[in-house]
Structure 1
């Protein structure tokens, strides 16, 4: 198949999943065309099966804000015709679905290119649910040829918010070979020169991720166990505030902010415990990646996280903002290495068993084929 994929080319979950989906589809013999403003973060290599088409913006004095959605639709239509795409798969509803539907409609007399929309979370729970965007988001869902969601929680939220239930649940995934524990890697000595137990948090540092809770947890753990360090991976609007909070709590020297990193598995593979105190996670991709690297997960019991983390088996779940309990659970794992290793081993087993590429990618391919067959039947 010739597949067009559009994602937000950032460190967010939708960009990661779309990028890695395209890479895996290419490895299985499909031709993948990424259509975006810049090359997506996880797309590290272009070849005869992985292509990139840049959306170029027109600068015009009349436009207060450059109309990216129209530029994207134009590029989608151009690529769809030139490359004879079989379908357009867009990740995140607004504006990608609208752009794809516009592209499909603009060329349908020459070639009908079905649109599949994958919902990742905030496109439904925050942006789409906003009164100003709700009607257009509902339209995007209704006009898509296929809609998938990354968790059962998100499908339920879509039904409740938009009264739309034609949603296929295809969860996020990991490649077991890309995510593995590597405790003897040189990076471990760099991050833990004194043999510290390493806590780690990975996010885009938005307020919804509650990154400041991580340094609060660290401070409480340090009251009992001093040989602990927190690694903060990523960047975003809350980073400076979190660094300042670490300074206020007197744990600045125990919290290392390493910024954005291209190789997240390298950092997960040498760490010990993963912190995810978010107030909203439609799936919890970061938790899944951590479990694949045999890290127990300390997280909140919200959204899709309970579908990923087994409480008391591969991690511990708490209510939003319950830093005291999260710190207590973290300390248990810090002090009890056998428990930590057992939780990590079980987390890896669950991640591979439920969410490996070998299990999930065929679901996407089968869904593509169903949508294509349905579109062909309708055209006939």
Structure 2
């Protein structure tokens, strides 16, 4: 398995970490439980980290040097992919390993996967997690546009991969329309959630643990980036507070080394300008085992993004019984069932977002009903079910994967 630009073990909420890290980690662990031997190769960003780190039963992460062993903008990693490919191949040769299939995550991994296929003559299964052309349509400035290099490489990967996994029908449609993908080669498999970790809990205990008072709590989780729409949420909160509502917003994500002129700094200036300093708390990135406490404590989890390929945060929140309000964009339109497991509003619509927040915060019964349905919906997206579906795609490319399906735990 290839996850070139980001390690599945990295703390979530940073500039280069998010749902894909969770996906690679949890899928690898579940495949390992099914008896599949999984090596996840990633670019080393810190020379002090052990070269090999166990990920779970039969699964491990292998850190390989490719360029400076330090964080690097994604577009710059492309120039070091030949070194990465050589590193993966050298690892295979020195350890006598034989890989039956390459599962690549994101476009950079897809480039490496196609190069390795030339050497190994094994099939490639590609998952993009996010598509450059979709992101560009959601971009709000020239600085947010994805480079032509990415678009060109994505098109090449789509045409050359043996199988592509799309997270939802929105991504599938984009692959067909904008990338001329061959429809029979696309499998649509939603992302998953760990329902053993993300589960409803004692709201009062969770709020006490986080030192929260009785004011309604809104929760935002993710990478702090313009495309995530935090500016819209802040404006909505300012609108509500101007009307007399007392709210607390918890922002989970960001990095300690965020530059002073970065997007987080812009958001802090906006908070000061709107007079929200006492209402907003930057929590920073959190490990997965701590996140459920925040979801349980929150009255509403908000995803005001301008684009999301899937919206794993929404699924985690629903699994914990937290009502979700999300933008009607990308994969969120299928992850959130509008009016059933949460509510969808138009992106950038401050008034609509504020009105929906006010409605949910004021209606305890509605929050309970939406939360209950969210728990039921999330239960249909457990990682064992995702891993079984992925393994079926493996088996369609490599018959040796078929016996592992007998160990699938989807219906346990």
TM-score normalized by the length of structure 1: 0.86
Shift of 1:359: 2.5
Shift of 1:68: 2.5
CA distance in structure 2 between the aligned counterparts of 1:22 and 1:65, rounded to whole angstroms: 23
Q: Alignment length, in residue pairs?
A: 363
Work out whether residues 234 and 261 of structure 1, in 8 Å CA contact, stay in contact via their aligned partners in 2: yes
Residue pairs, 1:1-380, within 5 angstroms = 8-9=6-7, 10-38=16-44, 46=55, 49-58=58-67, 67-81=79-93, 82-93=96-107, 95-108=108-121, 113-123=122-132, 125-126=134-135, 131-165=148-182, 166-184=185-203, 187-224=206-243, 226-235=245-254, 237-263=262-288, 264-353=291-380, 355-373=381-399
For residues 19-77 of structure 1, the C-alpha deviation after alignment (integer angstroms, 9 at most, x for no partner) is: 2111221223322211002499xx99545522221111356xxxx98833112212232
Shift of 1:79: 3.8
Work out whether residues 7 and 91 of structure 1, in 8 Å CA contact, stay in contact via their aligned partners in 2: no
For residues 198-249 of structure 1, the C-alpha deviation after alignment (integer angstroms, 9 at most, x for no partner) is: 1001111111111112222222233345442100011164222112211111
CA distance in structure 2 between the aligned counterparts of 1:48 and 1:106, rounded to whole angstroms: 28
CA distance in structure 2 between the aligned counterparts of 1:193 and 1:259, rounded to whole angstroms: 17
Shift of 1:4: 6.0
Shift of 1:5: 5.8
Distance 1:5 1:193, change over 3 A: closer
For residues 76-122 of structure 1, the C-alpha deviation after alignment (integer angstroms, 9 at most, x for no partner) is: 323445322221111112x21111111221244xxxx3221112123
CA distance in structure 2 between the aligned counterparts of 1:65 and 1:285, rounded to whole angstroms: 25
Q: Identify unmatched segments of 5+ residues in structure 2.
A: 8-15, 69-75, 137-144, 256-261, 402-412
Work out whether residues 15 and 91 of structure 1, in 8 Å CA contact, stay in contact via their aligned partners in 2: no
- 2:201 partner SS: coil
Distance 1:175 1:158, change over 3 A: same
Work out which structure has the larger RCO, using CA pairs closer than 8 Å and 6 or more positions apart in sequence. Answer: 2
Work out whether residues 274 and 297 of structure 1, in 8 Å CA contact, stay in contact via their aligned partners in 2: yes
- 1:261 partner SS: coil
Work out whether residues 250 and 281 of structure 2, in 8 Å CA contact, stay in contact via their aligned partners in 1: yes
CA distance in structure 1 between the aligned counterparts of 2:180 and 2:78, rounded to whole angstroms: 32
**Structure 1 residues 201-210 or 120-129, which shifts more?**
120-129
Work out whether residues 7 and 15 of structure 1, in 8 Å CA contact, stay in contact via their aligned partners in 2: no
CA distance in structure 1 between the aligned counterparts of 2:172 and 2:272, rounded to whole angstroms: 41
RMSD of Structure 2 on Structure 1 (CA): 2.9
TM-score normalized by the length of structure 2: 0.80
CA distance in structure 2 between the aligned counterparts of 1:4 and 1:302, rounded to whole angstroms: 28
CA distance in structure 1 between the aligned counterparts of 2:317 and 2:389, rounded to whole angstroms: 23
Residue 378 of structure 1 corresponds to: none
Work out whether residues 148 and 168 of structure 1, in 8 Å CA contact, stay in contact via their aligned partners in 2: yes
- 1:33 partner SS: strand
Distance 1:6 1:89, change over 3 A: farther
**Structure 1 residues 268-277 or 124-133, which shifts more?**
124-133
**Structure 1 residues 262-271 or 143-152, which shifts more?**
262-271
Shift of 1:178: 1.4
CA distance in structure 2 between the aligned counterparts of 1:281 and 1:364, rounded to whole angstroms: 21
Distance 1:223 1:338, change over 3 A: farther
